[in-house]
Amino acid sequence: MNAARTRAPELPLDLQWFNTSRPLSLEELRGRVVLLDFWTYCCINCMHVLSDLKYLEEKYADRLTVIGLHSPKFPNERVGAQVQKAINRYHIRHPVANDPRFQVWRSYAIKAWPSLLVIDPEGYVVGVMRGEGRRQQLDELIEKLLVDAEQKGLEPRGRLPLQTHSEERASMSFPGKVYATEHALYIADTGRNRILETYHDGTIRRIFGSNTAGFLDGNQQEAAFDSPQGMVRVEDFLFVADTGNHAIRRIELRDGEVETFAGTGQQGRYVGRYFDKPREAPLNSPWDLAYGRGVLYVAMAGQHQIWAYQLAKRTLEVLAGSGREDLVDGSLLTAALAQPSGLAMGDGRLYLADAETSAIRVIDLEQETLHTLVGQGLFEFGDLDGVGTAARLQHPLGVHLDTARNCLWIADTFNSKIKMISLNSKKVSSMGLSLSLNEPGGLHGVGDSLFVADTNHHRVIRIDLKKAEAEILDVHE
């Protein structure tokens, strides 16, 4: 019987390891179930898997070892320092090995992100599961393998040499998005699960959120968010894409009360197209928001779609995207998007930062069509200025419409640059800055000031667009 089984190939010796004081081998993990998570940190589906892994790690703490095999899609993700940032941003505590040459990927014949491969306590491959939403299947399989191992008298060997590397203390933690008004700046302090309201000089006026991840309505100190991202202000309300809670929250700015506006707090997958009770609608990683003509637009990154909330009618519906991850232009519901993560509204058009296609897309709300300004597909990316689709971006997460200059400002996240697209010529050009950036996740401007969430540097910078000068905002109470 054992002759037909496949021994798990050993891990290469030259992988770069994180969250452990030394490289691990499968040989030393005999007696445990080993779960190899093939992931890349840009991928929304890979992000969704992490909560399942955490659940399984806690349930089977002494008998299960999870190893993240980071198999990078983008050039930026091959860099070990960037992988370490992602590990800290996502609060990953299990060992991770960076595999930029896809050695392990090929040895196990992996085909897609994410893939979860199970190795039994005797060191044999049991099987592989692709995609997210596999918690129950994995739970049942792991339990069965551990019962079998106990009957065979197999015991785990030793303890894992776990060792994490924390970020340096800063006033913010991985800020994701910013939103500016004439007199205020709102910052999604994503890593601390809170929203900061500051003056333009960075002085904090109010903090919304308890700093602890959770899903709780209430006053500004008691309310809880989970990895909030995009924001938009509509009159006296600040709407927040509460990404980790798969919800839209609303802050009443007059009294600081926080309430859930849409979503249940649980992730939804492959759901319907229309909801007349938005608080019962299962959302999927909303990442950014925009507003215009009475409609709140939602970049539903986990569903590869744009949704529209009619504020007067209190209804929520799919506006654009078939749900298939791709770059396809055309009519709104047949077009395809890939992890839309940034929105900007103006002149009857909705501009999108479509992260996984490294593209900037635009929806014509009158014609009900979607077309691409920059980008050519899921695996067409780079760092190249030029006109239209001749230019290249790398996983952009933010877009801002500057009507005064008739351009779009782009957070070209994985190139760690700010770029401009002229809406007249469609020319893409990089902005030269005296300050270096590290994966800027969002940007928004008012007047001649462009504010940028310099995510991996845990800071916000302000760019004077007249002088083309940048400064670090001193965010403090």
Give the residue extent of every domain in the chain: 2-151, 178-472
CA 409, CA 398: separation in Å to the nearest integer? 8
Please give the distance of CA 87 from its chain centroid, rounded to a whole number: 13
| Matching fold, domains 2-151 and 178-472 | no
What are the C-alpha distances in Å from 162 to residues 18, 61, 65, 82? 9, 13, 11, 20
Query: Which letter, b or e, does each residue of 414-451 get, where b requires 16 or more Cβ atoms within 10 Å of its Cβ?
Result: bbbbbbbbebeebbbebbeeeeebebbbbbbbbeeebb
Q: Which CATH number fits domain 2-151: 3.40.30.10, 1.10.10.10, 3.30.2320.50, 3.40.50.2300?
A: 3.40.30.10
Q: Which residues of the chain have pLDDT under 50?
A: 1-2
Helix, strand, coil percentages in the chain from 3-state DSSP, rounded to 5 = 15, 40, 45
Q: Considering only CA atoms, give the Rg of the chain.
A: 23
Beta partners for residue 182, in sequence order? none
Q: Which residue in 181, 292, 309 sits closest to 241, CA to CA?
A: 309
Give the number of other Cβ atoms within 10 Å of residue 476's Cβ: 10
CA 280, CA 263: separation in Å to the nearest integer? 6
Q: Which CATH number fits domain 178-472: 2.120.10.30, 2.60.40.2310, 2.40.50.150, 3.40.50.300?
A: 2.120.10.30
pLDDT at 170: 95
List the structure tokens of 247: 């919800």
pLDDT at 1: 39
Phi and psi at residue 308, to the nearest 5° = -130, 125
206-239 pLDDT, tens per residue?
999 999 999 999 999 999 999 999 999 999 999 9
Do β-strands 305-310 and 295-300 pair in parallel, antiparallel, or remain unpaired?
A: antiparallel
Contact 130, 111 (CB under 8 A): yes
Phi and psi at residue 104, to the nearest 5° = -70, -40
375-387 pLDDT, tens per residue?
999 999 999 999 9
